[in-house]
Amino acid sequence: MESAIPEHLRCPRSQARRAPDDYVPPVPAWVARFDASVSRVAIACFGVQYRGSARAGVASAAIRRLVDACAAAEGPQHHDVAHHVDEAGYETLVLIAYWRDVPAYQRWWAESDLAIWWTSPEREREGVGYFREIFTPRAPHLETLFSSPDRFEGVGMLAASPSDQIYEHGYWGGARDRLPLAQTDGLAPGGVIGRVPTGSAGRIVLRPPQHLAVIRSGQDWSDTEGREREIYLGDVEPVLNEGMTFLRDHGRAIGCFANRYMRHVDGQGLPQRKSFGLSFWRSLAHLEIWAGSHPTHVAIFGSFMRMVKASEGQLRLRLYHEVMVLAEDEQSYEYVNCHPMTGMLRAIG
């Protein structure tokens, strides 16, 4: 067993670890190990929102354009496409793409014809909304967790290898203990989220806050069978869905600016047996309070721990998450023709 924090990012703590020194986790878990040369990654979420079948074609064509651009030489090392219906009843398709370094992402954006397409006033007149949410966390501002070491998702796809089994998990506060930055920083939120003038009423750019927390927390039930699949779909997923709907519709009161409970889709737009919640929080503390006290997450936390113990290492359900706590210069948000409840727009609504 080893610490979730890689050796090159460890430092003397000024912030106490949440777990006692003799803590032993009840079940195993792993983190993604990035090469020490990976100092900052880029995670780009491009979304298209639409309503009604007449606009579905425009939305699919836009996502296809983005997916095709991922094949370029400077394209991302990994990408996913996912779908959800938002709080205003709009369908949304999102491409999430991951790069091992920020300049590669910047070159990709500048060298493809995407930037021209994106900035064209045409995008404001197509009857769909577009958004671009870019995160560029430095390595100490990011932590991951996986329930199995043999297949990763999301930012884990940029990893060189899995870690050994790690100590810092299985208790409330584990995410903070895994985050290198939290060794020396309380991660208090700061700054005021506001609009940056763009010269166009249909295009909104936001000034980001300090220490926004973003989580992508996913589940993959594609390998489950029989009783295990029944338990996931019959008992766990409905409770997860309830928790995700609560965050989507009522999250703002508890510091969750936005939540998307998304289902992966394949190249034909068909749903896969994989989903994730992607949410934006005023601070890590706000996210921790929801995770540790909301009855839906407390219930699924408990049921997962019981399932792992009962499975004697045979559990086929895969869980993972990635959490970032972002400095102001590690975020950028742009919304084109989107309704006012979209993503971080809710933070200024």
Provide the annotated active-site residues: 321
Decide: is 288 part of the binding site for ligand HEM (CB under 6 A): yes
Residue 166 lies near ligand HEM (rule: CB under 6 A): no
DSSP 71: T
Torsion angle in degrees (nearest 10) through CA of 30, 36, 40, 41: -50
Q: Does 175 sit near ligand HEM (CB under 6 A)?
A: yes
Q: Collapse the DSSP code of 48 into the 3-class scheme (helix H, G, I; strand E, B; otherwise coil) and give the result.
A: strand
- Is 49 a binding residue for ligand HEM by CB under 6 A? The answer is no
Q: 95, 63 in Cβ contact below 8 A?
A: yes
Q: Which stretch binds ligand HEM (CB under 6 A): 50-58, 61-69, 85-93, 170-178?
A: 170-178
> Please, where are the H alpha helices in 92-203?
102-111, 114-119, 174-178
CB of 125 to ligand HEM, least distance (A): 34
Nearer to ligand HEM, 117 or 301 (CB): 301
236 binds ligand HEM (CB under 6 A): yes
- From its phi and psi, is residue 288 left (phi > 0), alpha (psi between -120 and 50) or beta? alpha
Query: According to CB under 6 A, which one of 136, 144, 210, 219 is a site residue for ligand HEM?
Result: 219
Q: Does 291 bind ligand HEM (CB under 6 A)?
A: yes
Residue with smaller CB distance to ligand HEM, 126 or 242: 242
Residue with tokens 């034909």: 268
Whose CA is closest to 28, among 147, 172, 144?
Answer: 147
Measured from the CB atom, the residue of 195 and 309 that comes closer to ligand HEM is 309
Distance from C-alpha of 222 to C-alpha of 12, rounded to nearest angstrom: 41
Question: Can residue 173 be called a binding residue for ligand HEM (CB under 6 A)?
Answer: yes
> Which listed range, 48-56, 66-74, 184-192, 215-223, lies at the site for ligand HEM (CB under 6 A)?
215-223
245 and 87 Cβ atoms separated by less than 8 Å: no
Q: What is the distance between the alpha carbons of residues 143 and 284, in angstroms, rounded to a whole number?
A: 12
Q: Does 292 bind ligand HEM (CB under 6 A)?
A: yes
Contact between residue 48 and residue 62 where contact means Cβ atoms under 8 Å apart? yes
Compute the least distance from the CB of residue 13 to ligand HEM, in Å: 17
Q: Site residues for ligand HEM, window 11-40 (CB under 6 A)?
A: 29
Query: In the structure encoding, which two tokens stand for residue 318, read together?
Result: 């895969």
The rounded distance, in Å, linking the Cα atoms of 186 and 216 is 21
Name which position in 170, 180, 209, 251 contacts ligand HEM (CB under 6 A).
Answer: 170
Work out how close the CB of 55 gets to ligand HEM at its nearest, in angstroms, rounded to a whole number.
28
Question: Does the footprint of ligand HEM cover residue 240 (CB under 6 A)?
Answer: yes
Strand intervals (E) in the chain = 32-33, 42-50, 78-85, 91-99, 129-135, 142-146, 161-162, 194-196, 203-207, 212-220, 256-265, 271-281, 318-326, 331-336
Query: Cβ 177 to ligand HEM, closest distance in Å?
Result: 8
Residue 265 binds to ligand HEM (criterion: CB under 6 A): no
Piece of the chain touching ligand HEM by CB under 6 A; list 76-84, 203-211, 298-306, 331-339: 298-306
Q: Which amino acid is at 299?
A: A
* 76 interacts with ligand HEM by CB under 6 A: no
> Quick check: 215 binds ligand HEM (CB under 6 A)?
yes
- Say whether residue 275 binds ligand HEM (CB under 6 A): no
Q: 209: which DSSP letter?
A: P
Name the residues that contact ligand HEM, by CB under 6 A. 29, 145, 169-170, 172-175, 215, 217, 219, 236, 240, 277, 279, 287-288, 291-292, 297, 300-301, 304-305, 319
